[in-house]
Amino acid sequence: MYISKSFIPILKNNPSEAQIKSHQLMLRVGMIKQSSAGIYSWLPLGFKIMKKIEQIVREEQNRIGAQEILMPTIQSSEIWKESGRYEDYGEEMLRIKDRQDREMLYGPTNEELVTDIFRSSVKSYKSLPQLLYHIQWKFRDEIRPRFGIMRCREFYMKDAYSFDVNDEEAFFSYNKFFLSYLKTFKRLDLKAIPMAADTGPIGGNLSHEFIILAETGESKIYTDKRIFDVISDGTKLEKKSLKDLRKKYEQFYSVTDEKFDKKEFEGKVTESNRLITKGIEVGHIFYFGDKYSKPMGGSVDLPEGKKDFVKMGSYGIGVSRLVGAIIEAKYDSKNEVMKWPISVAPYDISIIPMINKNETSALDKSNKINLELEKNNIEALIDDTDENLSSKIKKMNLIGAPYQIIIGKQTEGNLLEFKEIGEETQKKSLEEIIKIIKERKANN
Amino acid sequence: MYISKSFIPILKNNPSEAQIKSHQLMLRVGMIKQSSAGIYSWLPLGFKIMKKIEQIVREEQNRIGAQEILMPTIQSSEIWKESGRYEDYGEEMLRIKDRQDREMLYGPTNEELVTDIFRSSVKSYKSLPQLLYHIQWKFRDEIRPRFGIMRCREFYMKDAYSFDVNDEEAFFSYNKFFLSYLKTFKRLDLKAIPMAADTGPIGGNLSHEFIILAETGESKIYTDKRIFDVISDGTKLEKKSLKDLRKKYEQFYSVTDEKFDKKEFEGKVTESNRLITKGIEVGHIFYFGDKYSKPMGGSVDLPEGKKDFVKMGSYGIGVSRLVGAIIEAKYDSKNEVMKWPISVAPYDISIIPMINKNETSALDKSNKINLELEKNNIEALIDDTDENLSSKIKKMNLIGAPYQIIIGKQTEGNLLEFKEIGEETQKKSLEEIIKIIKERKANN
């Protein structure tokens, strides 16, 4: 793709309205554009990244046997009255009257709607477990939207729901998502730590937030440092293996603000292991038993002939928020260098030719290189403008394709000036470059 | 996938509330579930089909150089006041007040929002043309939603927008979409005919609807039969080639209701070539020049130093509606047989083993076959229940994977009972079956 043909409206300077790194960078390189308070359009660069994140989230949901559905954004108030949450939810719920004066709302979450689908479709324990998820826009009418897409009103979220016959099976489902989340964030090159958390308006008594460390995070966290060394590799989708994984994490104190207890923290964690810092929530899972199935009548026939309310959990990942979270974790704002993980990078590589008027040999060379890259499924962004080399490099450092080829005066023969963003330039042949990128991509 | 593990809630009989074929089938096999009037959830079977349609639409947009973005569902009323459509749009627009009492709305279409994005990002003719599209949920508050997802309130749509420096370039963009639409519908195995159409609330003076024939269609159409024989093969993405394609179609009279003129029809079409029938609109394209760019101030610098308002068109495909349209076109409701085009089929093949209690040899055989199919990227749905063979076949005929393997008593040796839905059973080896399906898939 030529940069002149792309729709990547780049700003010369950091936008003054943005306070945190992700908001700055996203406006700066035209990933998003605000359309009204807390509501954004995703332009091609931001969209590509978000779609890649969405696909990784999807694959890891499918891998644990969850099935994808798609619930609408607009819901009827009736099911929320059944569950008892219509009044509770307060002003964050965007309430709507349609032309027939019916009370509708823009779904902030989907426990009610998915329970309604379940109760009309599933009658027997034999059809359990069921794991259903969807990836859909949600709306929460924040009083003070801020930090770009990190605390906005319309946001893109994966939410999953599990239905089981009893607690034991329900914990098995919960733990499947626990593992799936660790794998998802790992593929995004994020170190996300599960922390015991409050259940808030979702309800229930078991809950974990998945948090990545970031100074700009809104969650205050208290942990035993050693939790960062726990690894999930080798965990199997079996009850015991998953339980063991949970135990490995839960041996270390690790909670968010609301769950913090000073005495407990200081008792359980030696001083040298204590870490009090800030983080960004990227996922949140809940177990709440029959909180929704009971009032809404979601029951199944049991083997012995009785009936019981189905046991449910819910599992959220903020897909749009992850774009910002990755920037918060990876963006070197001092040097203005962003390096996207290859798994979600908008382009695999930038090609930066030095172009003077009437002298297109560097561009011709770029095109030839691009043809070879395309054959190897490597996507490049070529800066075909006649700006000077250093401002081109500056721009590409912000766009953040993880590799760069620079074609300047010194480029002769078969060796190219190649660099991984933030590293030293090396002389490499195109074959070597292709090999490096293909290997990196294969590991994701 | 085992049918017992899938979330495909099938009804024994046609639902009484559904009047047209697509609505009947979609409820019957659990593709959708109504959540409130004119609003539906998509269950796994329907979701899979819709996603495959979406992907084909996307690929054909990308092929003409359109770039994907994603605008939000909730818009501010301000830009609609700028364009002058806020009052015009009437009660079909879902109007919303947020907690700050700001006037918002659920976007029924996106001309205003995309013009706002354009005007703040693009300043020079040098950045033109720009073709931007998004695939997003829309809402139109129909007074009387009906026919399932064919005339519903929340629907999934691809809408694209073109920006050009003058009429000549704008027609070139228009014609690119014209070709792209023909290709899209062809890949969906639909014969969609472009017809001169009214521009309605979008505005402008050039417009085509793409219509497929269907008795249950809501559009009345008047055509010269010979238009069905026009082919677009070999058309190139060049001005002249695209112009010629338009001419090939436009030599034949072909209009919708609102454009119908009896005298003209009878004058231009000989009696034997006249066709008056009904159809379903699956796409609609518009050229409207500066209708939005002028009031909203979307202008670019021209080469000579002047400025001019950018010339725009818009291009819609109903992605969710296409699921219903394909059913209307392909479902044999008398024999209760649906055959999905392989390009969008939820599964490539059904495996239907005869299973009696304690006798699982047919299921074992199914699993072995499935392993081989998986190796060849062929996705199968296996009926692992102990229902009788004829009710299993009935069910699979509704689900509509285009091929079936039946494993009954007569299945011995290497030859399997294989059939394409609606055709005769043949004896084929698994290798032959795989070859047939792979070839069919490769052609899409």
The CATH number covering residue B414 comes to 3.40.50.800
What is the rounded CA–CA span in Å between residue B133 and residue B159?
A: 6
Q: State mean pLDDT over A418-431.
A: 94
Domain with residue A280: its CATH number is 3.30.930.10
Q: Where are the beta strands (DSSP E) in B72-191?
A: 74-76, 94-97, 103-106, 130-139, 154-164
Q: Residue length, chain A?
A: 444
Same domain for A427 and A320: no
- Confidence at B85, pLDDT banded by 50, 70, 90: very high
Same domain for A286 and A404: no
Inside any domain, residue B317? yes
| CB contact set of A53 (below 8 Å; sequence gap of 6+) | A188, A319, A322, A323, A326, A344
- Per-residue pLDDT for A411 more than 70? no
Question: B415-420 and B403-407 as β-strands: parallel, antiparallel, unpaired?
Answer: antiparallel
- Per-residue pLDDT for A410 more than 80? no
- Per-residue pLDDT for B77 more than 90? yes
Number of domains comprising chain B = 2
- Confidence at A63, pLDDT banded by 50, 70, 90: very high
Same domain for B188 and B128: yes
For residue B116, which residues of chain A lie inside 8 Å, CB to CB?
Answer: 35
- Judge whether A198 and A270 are in contact, CB under 8 Å: no
Q: Supply the DSSP string of B388-419, one letter for each residue.
A: -HHHHHHHHHHH--SEEEEE-TT--TTEEEEE
- Per-residue pLDDT for B312 more than 90? yes
Cα first-last separation, chain B: 23
Residue B417: beta bridge partners?
B406, B427
Same domain for B303 and B355: no
Q: Which of A28, A34, A68, A69 to mutate to test the interface with B (most CBs of B within 10 A)?
A: A69
If contacts are CB pairs under 8 Å, which of residues 132-161 in chain B contact chain A?
Answer: 132, 137, 139, 141, 143, 153-154
| CB contact set of A360 (below 8 Å; sequence gap of 6+) | none
Per-residue pLDDT of B261-288, as tens digits, reads: 999 999 999 999 999 999 999 999 999 9
Same domain for B405 and B268: no
Inside any domain, residue B93? yes
Facing residue for A120 by CB, picked from B33, B40, B120: B33
Per-residue pLDDT of B392-401, as tens digits, reads: 999 999 999 9
Inside any domain, residue B341? no
Task: Quote the tokens at residue B235.
Answer: 């058309």
Facing residue for A35 by CB, picked from B40, B44, B75: B75
Same domain for B289 and B145: yes
Is A41's CB within 8 Å of B137's CB?
A: no
- Alpha-carbon B316 to chain mean position: 10
Q: Note whether A55 contacts B: Cβ–Cβ < 8 A.
A: no
Coil, helix or strand for A20?
coil
Q: Percent of chain B at pLDDT above 70? A: 99
- Per-residue pLDDT for B46 more than 90? yes
Q: Is the peptide bond before A9 cis (omega within 30 degrees of 0)?
A: no
Inside any domain, residue B13? no
For residue B54, which residues of chain A lie inside 8 Å, CB to CB?
Answer: none
The candidate with the shortest Cα–Cα distance to A30, out of B129, B121, B125, is B121
The candidate with the shortest Cα–Cα distance to A350, out of A294, A299, A389, is A389
pLDDT at A413: 75
pLDDT at A266: 95
3-state helix, strand, coil in chain B (%, to 5): 40, 30, 35
Nearest residue on chain A to B136, alpha-carbon basis:
A137
The pTM of the full predicted model, rounded to 2 decimals, is 0.97
For residue B122, which residues of chain A lie inside 8 Å, CB to CB?
Answer: 9
Q: State mean pLDDT over B236-258.
A: 95
Q: Is the peptide bond before B353 cis (omega within 30 degrees of 0)?
A: no
Is B67's CB within 8 Å of A36's CB?
A: no
- Per-residue pLDDT for B247 more than 90? yes
Same domain for B419 and B325: no
d(CA B6, nearest CA chain A) in Å: 8
- Confidence at B411, pLDDT banded by 50, 70, 90: low
Same domain for A183 and A320: yes
Is A74's CB within 8 Å of B106's CB?
A: yes
Residue A416: beta bridge partners?
A428
d(CA B157, nearest CA chain A) in Å: 13
Inside any domain, residue A33? yes
pLDDT at B410: 65
The candidate with the shortest Cα–Cα distance to A8, out of A444, A382, A439, is A382
Is B41's CB within 8 Å of A117's CB?
A: yes
Q: Note whether A108 contacts B: Cβ–Cβ < 8 A.
A: no
Decide which of B17 and A401 is more confident: A401
Residue B221: beta bridge partners?
B256, B277
Same domain for B324 and B429: no
pLDDT at A257: 87
Same domain for A265 and A146: yes
What is the rounded CA–CA span in Å between residue A194 and residue A253?
A: 11
Per-residue pLDDT of A245-303, as tens digits, reads: 999 999 999 998 888 999 999 999 999 999 999 999 999 999 999 999 999 999 999 99
| Residue B131 CB coordination number (10 Å) | 23
Inside any domain, residue B388? yes
Rounded to the nearest integer, the mean pLDDT of chain B is: 95
Is B116's CB within 8 Å of A35's CB?
A: yes
What's the domain range around A413?
A: 349-442
Per-residue pLDDT of A120-143, as tens digits, reads: 999 999 999 999 999 999 999 999
- Per-residue pLDDT for A425 more than 70? yes
B229 φ/ψ sector (left φ>0, alpha ψ -120 to 50, else beta): alpha
If contacts are CB pairs under 8 Å, which of residues 79-98 in chain B contact chain A?
Answer: 91-92, 94, 96, 98
Rounded to the nearest integer, the mean pLDDT of chain A is: 95
For residue A67, which residues of chain B lie inside 8 Å, CB to CB?
Answer: 6-7, 44
Coil, helix or strand for B120?
helix
- Per-residue pLDDT for B90 more than 80? yes
Q: State mean pLDDT over A26-35.
A: 97
Torsion of CA A237, A238, A243, A246, to 10 degrees: -10
ipTM score of the complex? 0.96
Is A120's CB within 8 Å of B39's CB?
A: no
Inside any domain, residue B106? yes
Same domain for A357 and A254: no
What is the rounded CA–CA span in Å between residue A315 and residue A197?
A: 13
Facing residue for A7 by CB, picked from B67, B99, B141: B67
d(CA A255, nearest CA chain B) in Å: 32
Same domain for B384 and B266: no
d(CA A131, nearest CA chain B) in Å: 9
- Judge whether B119 and B295 are in contact, CB under 8 Å: no
Inside any domain, residue A14? no
| Residues A398, A48, A210: CA angle, nearest 5 degrees | 85
Q: State mean pLDDT over B67-71.
A: 98
